[in-house]
Every structure is written in C-alpha cells, then in structure tokens.
C-alpha cells in the first residue's frame, strides 16, 4: 500500500483527493496545521509518505485587509517552507511532491500556456511566484516535483456551490460586463491529472490545470442559465463587489486565460473540455 500525505485535506479539493486516493487503495494522511509547526512529527509523516500533496492556503475569496493578505501569504509560503524543511531532514524522501499555485500568476493581456512568462505584478501574481519558488526547492533534494496552477475548480462544492443559489432563483448574471476570462477545470479532470502525474514518472515541472477551452464570465453565465433554464439578466455591479471584498474583489472581477499545453502534450486526456459540457455534467 502506498501512502499519500496532504496539507489542506479538509477543503473541497483536498477532500476530493482524499476520497479518490483512498478508493484507489492509498493510505491518506492529512497533515494538520499544528503538525506543520512540529518538525519532528512532520518529518515522521514525510518519511512514511510516497506522495506529498500541498494544498494548504487561506481562502482567496474574502475581504483583503492588510492582515488578511498577510494570512494569504503566510498560509501558503510558511506551510511550503515547513514541508521543504521536513524533506531535507527525512531519511526516506517522498517519490513525488505536487504543490499548488494558480493561473493568477499570469497577467490578463493574452492567453497563456506554461511556456509563457507574462506574469502579473499584482499581489496574486507575486504570491503565486513566491509559492512556486519555495516549492521548487524540493527538486534540489532529488524529489520529483510538480506544480499545478489551478483555474477555478468546478464540482459539487467550492466555487460552483456558491454560484448556484442566485442562478436557481433566476437572479444570476454576469459580474460586470462579463468579458473577463474564466479559466476552469472539472473536479473529475483535476483528480485524473493528479493520478496521471503521480503514475507517470516523466511528469514534473509546472502544469496549468485548466480545461482546454477557456471561457469568459459571460460564457459561464450563459451555460448556467441554459442548463438551469433560468434568466441571467441581472449583472452584479463591480462597485458592489469592491465594497464587499475591497482589493479581494479582483479575484471575481478580473481573470486570466490559461491553457493546459503541457498536460495535453504529455498525453493526458480531458473528459470535459468546455464550459457547456462541464456545467451540464455538474448541474444538469
């Protein structure tokens, strides 16, 4: 039996990963916050693990006060530093380490693959770059290392669950003009990508975890309206989101276009390639 250790195991994606790999016969160990502060206990877990997945991080959709921005940063960077420290001390190191990042690393001037380096200079862009830099230190310890840049993960929970209520009530609509890019991935494809990279030893480096056909907020809105058979005529004004979330509204009012070139080139097959099929499967 192989062992998988995971930070952030209680969240939507973490719970989904835990369930998938337990069903595949893995022993899954959730690394708790307090364990990350105990280097001896953390090192014991690392020495037991064949695979380590790093998902920890405070929820990005929130009001960004200065203190919350510090939490967003520390919950990602400090967690990753603790793992790297444990890797360095472990006598038996994991076979593969998969850390997390986000397509928010890119600016929004174009549509990007992993071969493009047009990175955003805003808070999210800097956060993602620093997170990746810390995680890639595992390579220096001869651990196969992959970084998954998430788009918006759509499934039975997470962001989609929060979106559905207004649409079901017939009061859903675009955010602003709806032209902002919306790169997403079906939770099933995300889980398949974890399996694929773990099983294929030639896979390492950075991967965009997004569906092959990105859309916009308007495309998402139309897909939800069509599948739910509800009107989508009430846009959410950007100023209202700015009042609620402050600088954090940027997560909702801005967007990046990213394509999963490296996954596709490696032979990975997506089940859900566009927003229409994804929404139909999840809420149809």
Tell me the pTM.
0.95
In a domain, 217, yes or no: no
Most confident stretch, 154-158, 170-174, 270-274: 270-274
- Domain count along the chain: 1
Contact by Cβ (8 Å): 236, 159: no
Residue 15: CATH number of its domain: 3.40.50.720
Residue 155 corresponds to which tokens in the numbers above? Answer: 């499934």
Q: What is the domain extent for residue 85? A: 3-154+184-211+260-270
Query: Does residue 107 lie in a domain region?
Result: yes
Q: What would the pLDDT profile of 101-130 be if each residue is shown by its tens digit?
A: 999 999 999 999 999 999 999 999 999 999
- Confidence band of 238 (pLDDT split at 50, 70, 90): confident
Q: What is the pLDDT of residues 137-161, one digit of tens each?
A: 999 999 999 999 999 999 998 889 8
> Which residue do the tokens 């990508």 mark?
193
Q: Quick one: pLDDT band at residue 166, thresholds 50, 70, 90?
A: confident
Instruction: Provide φ and ψ at 33, rounded to 5°.
Output: -60, -45
Q: Per the domain annotation, does 44 fall within a domain?
A: yes
Q: Is residue 221's pLDDT more than 80?
A: yes
pLDDT at 83: 98
- Give the span between the Cα atoms of 220 and 178, in whole angstroms: 9
Query: Is residue 161 one of the residues assigned to a domain?
Result: no
Report yes or no on 34 lying in a domain. yes
Q: How confident is the model at residue 163 (pLDDT cuts 50, 70, 90)?
A: confident
**What pLDDT, on a 0 to 100 scale, did the predictor assign at position 165?**
87
Q: Establish if 237 belongs to a structural domain.
A: no
pLDDT at res. 260 = 98
């Amino acid at each position: 039996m192989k062992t998988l250790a995971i930070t952030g195991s209680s969240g939507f994606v973490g719970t989904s990963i835990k369930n998938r790999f337990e069903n595949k016969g893995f022993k899954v160990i959730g690394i708790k916050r307090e364990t990350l502060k105990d280097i001896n206990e953390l090192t014991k877990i690392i020495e037991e693990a064949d695979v380590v997945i790093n998902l920890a991080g405070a929820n990005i959709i929130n009001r960004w006060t200065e203190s919350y921005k510090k939490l967003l940063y520390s919950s990602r960077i400090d967690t990753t530093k603790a793992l790297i420290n444990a890797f360095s001390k472990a006598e038996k190191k994991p076979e593969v380490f998969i850390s997390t990042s986000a397509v928010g690393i890119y600016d929004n001037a174009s549509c990007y693959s992993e071969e493009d380096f047009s990175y955003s200079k805003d808070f999210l862009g800097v956060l993602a770059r620093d997170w990746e830099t810390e995680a890639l230190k595992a390579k220096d310890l001869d651990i196969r290392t992959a970084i998954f840049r998430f788009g918006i993960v759509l499934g039975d929970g997470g962001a989609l669950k929060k979106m559905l209520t207004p649409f079901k009530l017939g009061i859903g609509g675009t955010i602003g003009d709806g032209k902002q890019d919306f790169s997403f991935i079906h939770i099933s494809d995300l889980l398949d990508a974890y399996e694929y990279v773990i099983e294929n030893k030639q896979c390492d480096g950075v991967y965009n975890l997004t569906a092959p056909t990105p859309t916009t907020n308007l495309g998402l809105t139309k897909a939800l309206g069509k599948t739910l058979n509800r009107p989508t005529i009430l846009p959410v004004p950007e100023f209202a989101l700015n009042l609620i979330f402050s600088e954090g509204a940027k997560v909702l009012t801005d967007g990046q276009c990213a394509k999963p070139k490296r996954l596709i080139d490696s032979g990975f097959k997506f089940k859900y390639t566009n927003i229409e099929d994804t929404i139909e499967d999840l809420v149809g």
